Amino acid sequence: MTASLLLRNVRPYAGKAVDLLIENGKITQVGASLAAPAGIAVEDGKGEIVIPGLVEAHTHLDKSLLGLPWYTNEVGPRLLDKIDNERMNKKRLDIDPARQSARQSILSSLKGTTHIRSHVDVDTEHGMWGVEGVMKTRDAYRDIVDIELVAFPQSGLLRRPGTLELMDQAMKAGCEIVGGLDPCTIDRDPKGHLDAVFALCQRYGKPLDIHLHEPGEVGAFSLDLIIERTRALGMAGKVTVSHAFCLGTPDPALIDPLIDQLAEFDIAIMTTAPASRPAPPVKKLLQAGVRVCSGSDGIRDTWSPYGNADMLERAMFVGLRNNFRRDDEVRLALDVCTTEGAKVMEIEGYGLDVGCVADLVLLPTESIAEAVANRPPQRRVIKRGKIVARDGVSIRTAP
């Protein structure tokens, strides 16, 4: 599944033009006018920018409606309305996790994403349907994208008896990460919920990535409990908190001590840079030493009609939400969607250096900030040394 390629005339992060020699999927030389080994494929980079593959660190591959008839959303305003609506209509709407995750994975790949972390629903209505479907896609499309699965108790963990056992089954089946969800407002049992998900992490030696939509003081309370358990169980570096809207509370006395502890216990934050909710302050977190990643979250599903799997667009949202205007700030937004995401997902050999895996994107713009601002559809995407998409066309076809 690896390939060799001599990539001529590309500009790493918009710097000086170089050639990249890729052998067996890895970058083996970077330099000017490299000699082409006999028989190697040569690609003219045309002076375009090259960056490492985009990292989609939070999505839901199992629930997209891509390729299905338009879904008229008449769902109620509460989180629970969306949760219950989806669970009750998934089969009726024919949201087959295997097919839908394949469609979204191809879309992500052709836009330049080379790594995806997908939360996958585990509930008593559908059991392992989602996990099995996304695992099928993970295996079948390994040539274009790497996918890791988070076992995700979308409908709640303790409020629906039987879910915890299914979560255990999902971890046994090979999910890489334990998920969780709003311990106060969904399960209404913060101690019970967090003790249960952390116990699963301990049992399987896996990280945690927990959805925390809870706002303000409630969210801060849950976050504090998460920090407490991360410290007590020695799980520094192994916990991600997704959304963390509470960190967008404009009250330094509430959030500054939390940010200090996130840095101390190396707890990562995932933000979609939402337009309509309080959002974690990206620059402040990065400056404090907190890893920050981003993701599309759900893409065109029963929750919302939005999303196109473009992580360059997501970088723009991160920039807009955080008032990033300077080129160096826009670069930070891109870092959140590339290198920072790679740190959160603990991707080995990520980057543009010799020895790194050749997961790359070529962009026909002058600067990084221009790439984020313009989001050109002309992109070449390379996975383990092989060109897997050109100008919006993937080498794989969607089911």
Binding site for Zn ion (CB under 5 A): 297
- Dihedral sign (CA 346, 349, 351, 353): positive
| CB closer to Zn ion out of 182 and 297 | 297
As measured in angstroms, the least distance from the Cβ of 185 to Zn ion is: 15
How many beta carbons lie within 10 A of that of residue 2, not counting itself? 15
As measured in angstroms, the least distance from the Cβ of 272 to Zn ion is: 8
**Position 153, amino acid:** P
**What does the alpha-carbon distance between residue 260 and residue 248 come to, in Å, rounded to a whole number?**
15
Q: Which residue, 313, 306, 345, 297, is CA-closest to 62?
A: 297
| CB closer to Zn ion out of 307 and 385 | 307
As measured in angstroms, the least distance from the Cβ of 80 to Zn ion is: 15
- DSSP E strands in 305-394: the ranges are 360-363, 380-383, 386-390, 393-394
Q: In which element (H, E) is residue 166 found? A: helix 163-172
Q: Are strands 268-270 and 292-293 parallel, antiparallel or unpaired?
A: parallel
**Position 368, amino acid:** I
Contact criterion met (CB below 8 Å) for 122 and 170: yes
As measured in angstroms, the least distance from the Cβ of 59 to Zn ion is: 7
| CB closer to Zn ion out of 21 and 147 | 147
As measured in angstroms, the least distance from the Cβ of 60 to Zn ion is: 6
Contact criterion met (CB below 8 Å) for 106 and 141: yes
| CB closer to Zn ion out of 301 and 340 | 301
As measured in angstroms, the least distance from the Cβ of 299 to Zn ion is: 11
| CB closer to Zn ion out of 226 and 368 | 226
Contact criterion met (CB below 8 Å) for 368 and 35: no
Instruction: Count each helix (H run) and each strand (E run) in the chain, helices first.
Output: 12, 16
| CB closer to Zn ion out of 56 and 297 | 297
The SS3 call for residue 367 is coil
| CB closer to Zn ion out of 213 and 384 | 213
As measured in angstroms, the least distance from the Cβ of 177 to Zn ion is: 13
Give the residue at shortest CB distance from Zn ion. 297
